Amino acid sequence: MVLAPRSAVLPKVGLVLADRLGARFRAGFVLYTGEQALPFGDRLKALPMASLWTLDSAA
C-alpha cells in the first residue's frame, strides 16, 4: 500500500468538505499530536490534541 504524504491529503479533505457544503462551510479542524496550530488551507487548521483541554489564545 502506498500512502500519500500528509501535506497532500489534508488540504484535499478540507476542499471536498468545503465544495460539498458551499456557503455553509465555516471552518475545518483536524487534531494531531504536534504542539502548535498550523493552517493548511482556506479556513482549515490542524490543532494539537491538547487544545481540547487547554485554553490558548494563539490557537
Question: What is the full per-residue pLDDT of the chain (59 aa) written as tens digits?
Answer: 444 445 545 556 667 877 888 899 899 888 999 999 998 878 888 899 999 988 766 55
- Dihedral angle sign, alpha carbons of residues 18, 21, 25, 31: negative
The DSSP string of 3-58 is PPPHHHHHHHHHHHHHHHHGGG---EEEEESSSS-EEEETTEEEEEGGGGT---TT
- At 49 the pLDDT is 93
- At 36 the pLDDT is 92
The answer to whether the pTM exceeds 0.75 is no
* Domain extents in the chain: 6-52
- At 2 the pLDDT is 44
